[in-house]
Chains A and B, each alone.
Chain A
Amino acid sequence: MEKVKKGDWVQVRQTVLTPEGRAPQAPEDTKATPLLLWVKGFAKSDGAMGDKMSVETITGREVTGELTAVNPRYVHDFGDFVPEFLAIDVQLRSLMEEV
C-alpha cells in the first residue's frame, strides 16, 4: 500500500451527491451513480491510499476526500496509431496531384 507524507502532492476523491441525492433532471443511467469529484492538493497529514484526508489545493482551499493518487501523472497521450488517417493522407496527396 502506497504511503504519503504530509506535504506530498496528492489527489483525493469526494462523493458530492449519493445516487439518492442527484438532481431530478439527471438521466436514469447517471442517477444510478454518485456524483464524484477529484481534486489535487498538498496532503495535510500522513496517510495511505483509500484513507480519508484533507488537502490544501493550489488556491489554498481545504478539501477532504479519499486519497486516490500521489503525484498523479497525466495519462492522456496521442493514442494508438490510426492507419485510417494514413489512408486519408495518401488519398489527399494523390487527389492534389490530379488538381
Chain B
Amino acid sequence: MTRDMSYEAVMGRKNEIMKQAIGIDYSVFESGALAFDYERMMHEAGYTLEEIRDIQGATGVGNTPLLELRNITELARKYAPKGKGARIFVKDEASNPSGSFKARRAATAVYHAKKNGYKGVIAATSGNYGAAVASQAAMQGLKCIIVQECYDSRMVGQPEILEKQRACEAYGAEVIQLTVGPELFYTFLSLLEETGYFNASLYTPFGIAGVETLGFELAEQFRSRLGKAPDAVVVTHAGGGNVTGTARGLIKAGAEDSLVVGASVDLSGLHMASDNDFNRKSFTTGHTGFGIPFATWPDRADVPRNAARPLRYLDRYLLVKQGEVFYITEAMAILEGLERGPAGNTSLTAAFVLAQEMDRDQTIVVQETEYTGAGKHPMPQISFAKKNGVEVLFGDPDTEVPGKNIVFPDSPKAIKIRDFDLDKARRSYIRNSMEKCPYEGDINAEDMAFLAAETKSDKAFVQTVIKELKASK
C-alpha cells in the first residue's frame, strides 16, 4: 500500500511522525487544560548544564571570548547625557565551529540523536542553525538533511540563504531548497517519515538547554573579569531560543538580577510567507516576523511543546531598523576591527542606544556575533535590496518602511531603540491560549498559575486580561 502523500494526509500524520522523530512523549508533561510542566520537561527531557558543557566541549563548541567594545562604547558616550554610557561587551559566538551560537543548540541535538541510535538528523532552517547541524553531524558521523525556504517563485534566492546552502553542503549535508510558503513543514514531515531520521528541531529541551551554557558562561567570564554579573544582557530575538536559553543560563549562574533585553529588527508590514515580500527583506532572522509570533504563541513550532518560551524571561523588548543594524555592523568593523554578520549585530545596535540610557559604571553584554562572508555580508545584502527595488538612502531611521526602503542613520546619534510593549505581547499570548482552549467557566488555579509564569506576570494581570477578552466578545 502506498502512503497518501497529499498535504492534508501528511499533516494528519504529524503527531505520530513527530513522536518517532524526537523520541519524547510530550503528553506526559501535560497537566491542565492549558498548562504543562515546563520545568519538568526541561529537566527530564534535557541534560544538566554540566553534561551539556561536556557534550559541547567535546566538539569545540563554547568558551567563546568575551570582548570589550571600547571604541563603540566611546562613540555611544559621545551622545549620552553626562554620567551615562554603559560599557559594552560582546560574546564572540562567531568563534564557534560553525560560526554562530547555533553550534550550541546543534551540538546537543546531534549528540542526543546519536545516543538514541538515529542514523541521521533533519532540520528545517534557512539560517545559521543549518550550518551548525551539518557541522555537528559531520563531527559526530551522522547523515544530515537541511530543508530551506530559499527561493521566490522566480528561483531568486536571498544571498544569505544561498550562503547557508553552500555551508551546509561544505559540511556534507543534503540541502533541500523550497520556494516560499508555509508548506515547508509538510516537506519536512515527509522527509522525517521517509528517512526515520531525528528531528533536530531548534525547539526541543536539549536544543534550548544547549544555549544555557551561553548565559552561564558569560556570567562566569564577567565575574572573573569585573567581579560581578553584567547589568544587562542584550539578546537578538527571533524564535525565542536564544532569549530562553541565555536567560536560563544566567539564572543557573545566579545572575538573575541581570536585565534580559530582547532585540529584533523591525520588519513590520512584510508577510513572511508571501512570494512577493520574500526577497524584499534584508534580514532573514533576528526580526519581528519571527520574534513577535513566537513570543505570543511559542507552540507554533515544529514540536508539540516548544522549549523556547521567551515571555517567561524578557524584561524588555527593543526594536531597531535594518539601516541602523547595517550602520552598526560597519562600526563593528571600522572601530573594533571585527567583521561580523549583520543579523548577529541586531542586539549590538540596541545595546549602543541602551548604553546611553545607563550609567557609565554599568555594563551590557551583547551575547552573540555571527560569521560573515559572501552572501551574508552587508554588501551583498544591500546590493540585493537595490536590485529588488528597495531604495537605499541616508536619513531618519524612523522613516524606514520594510520592503520599500532602507534608511541608514545620518549620524550614530539618529540610531534609536523602540520599546515593544511587553504587556501587549502578554495579552496576545493569553488571548491565543484562550482561543486554543476556550474555557466555559472560570479558569482553574493551575492554568492561572501557568499563564502567569508564561507571561512573567501575576494572577491579577492574567485575570484582568481574561476579563477584557470576555468583555470584548
Q: Which bucket holds chain B's interface residue count? A: 35 or more
A-B contact count (CB 8 A): 163
Per the bound structure, the CA–CA distance linking A93 and B113 in Å amounts to 49
Q: Are B159 and A29 in contact (CB under 8 A)?
A: no
Q: Give the interface segment out of B180-188, B420-428, B460-468.
A: B180-188
Within the complex, which residue of B144, B175, B382 is in contact with A85, where a contact is CB–CB below 8 Å? B382
Q: Are A30 and B178 in contact (CB under 8 A)?
A: no
Expressed in whole angstroms, the minimum distance between the Cβ of A15 and any Cβ of chain B is 10
Q: Which bucket holds chain A's interface residue count? A: 35 or more
Q: Are B183 and A59 in contact (CB under 8 A)?
A: no
Q: Are A79 and B380 in contact (CB under 8 A)?
A: yes
Which B residues are CB-close (under 8 A) to A35?
Answer: 178-179, 181, 183, 187
Which A residues are CB-close (under 8 A) to B77?
Answer: 99
Which A residues are CB-close (under 8 A) to B375?
Answer: 76-77
Within the complex, which residue of A59, A60, A85 is in contact with B378, where a contact is CB–CB below 8 Å? A85
0/1 string, B330-347, CB within 8 A of A gives 1: 110111000000000000
Q: Known interface pairs A85-B330, A88-B408. Does A39 touch B183 (Cβ–Cβ under 8 Å)?
A: no
Q: Are A82 and B172 in contact (CB under 8 A)?
A: no
Per the bound structure, the CA–CA distance linking A21 and B417 in Å amounts to 43
Per the bound structure, the CA–CA distance linking A82 and B387 in Å amounts to 12
Q: Are B271 and A99 in contact (CB under 8 A)?
A: no
Q: Would you list which residues of chain B between 383 and 439 have a CB under 8 Å from chain A?
A: 383-384, 386, 392, 394, 408, 411-412
Within the complex, which residue of B182, B186, B335, B383 is in contact with A82, where a contact is CB–CB below 8 Å? B383
Per the bound structure, the CA–CA distance linking A72 and B151 in Å amounts to 16
Which A residues are CB-close (under 8 A) to B381?
Answer: 79
Q: Would you list which residues of chain A between 74 and 99 have a CB under 8 Å from chain B?
A: 74-82, 84-85, 87-89, 91-93, 95-96, 98-99
Q: Nearest A residue to B406 by beta-carbon distance?
A: A84
Within the complex, which residue of B71, B153, B183, B382 is in contact with A79, where a contact is CB–CB below 8 Å? B382
Q: Give the interface segment out of B30-38, B55-63, B202-210, B272-280.
A: B272-280
Which B residues are CB-close (under 8 A) to A78?
Answer: 374, 377, 379-380
Which B residues are CB-close (under 8 A) to A37?
Answer: 176-179, 187
Q: Would you list which residues of chain B between 180 and 199 have a CB under 8 Å from chain A?
A: 180-183, 186-187, 194-195
Q: Nearest B residue to A74 by beta-carbon distance?
A: B166
0/1 string, A1-37, CB within 8 A of B gives 1: 0000000000000001100011101110110111111
25 residue pairs A–B, Cβ–Cβ below 8 Å: A16-B183, A16-B187, A17-B7, A17-B183, A26-B273, A27-B271, A29-B274, A29-B276, A30-B181, A33-B179, A36-B151, A39-B175, A40-B174, A58-B172, A74-B165, A74-B374, A77-B374, A84-B382, A85-B326, A85-B330, A88-B327, A88-B408, A92-B330, A95-B75, A95-B411
B residues with a Cβ closer than 8 A to A are 6-7, 71, 74-75, 77-78, 120, 143-145, 150-151, 153, 155, 157, 159, 162-163, 165-166, 169, 172-183, 186-187, 194-195, 271, 273-276, 326-327, 330-331, 333-335, 374-375, 377-384, 386, 392, 394, 408, 411-412
A residues with a Cβ closer than 8 A to B are 16-17, 21-23, 25-27, 29-30, 32-40, 57-61, 74-82, 84-85, 87-89, 91-93, 95-96, 98-99
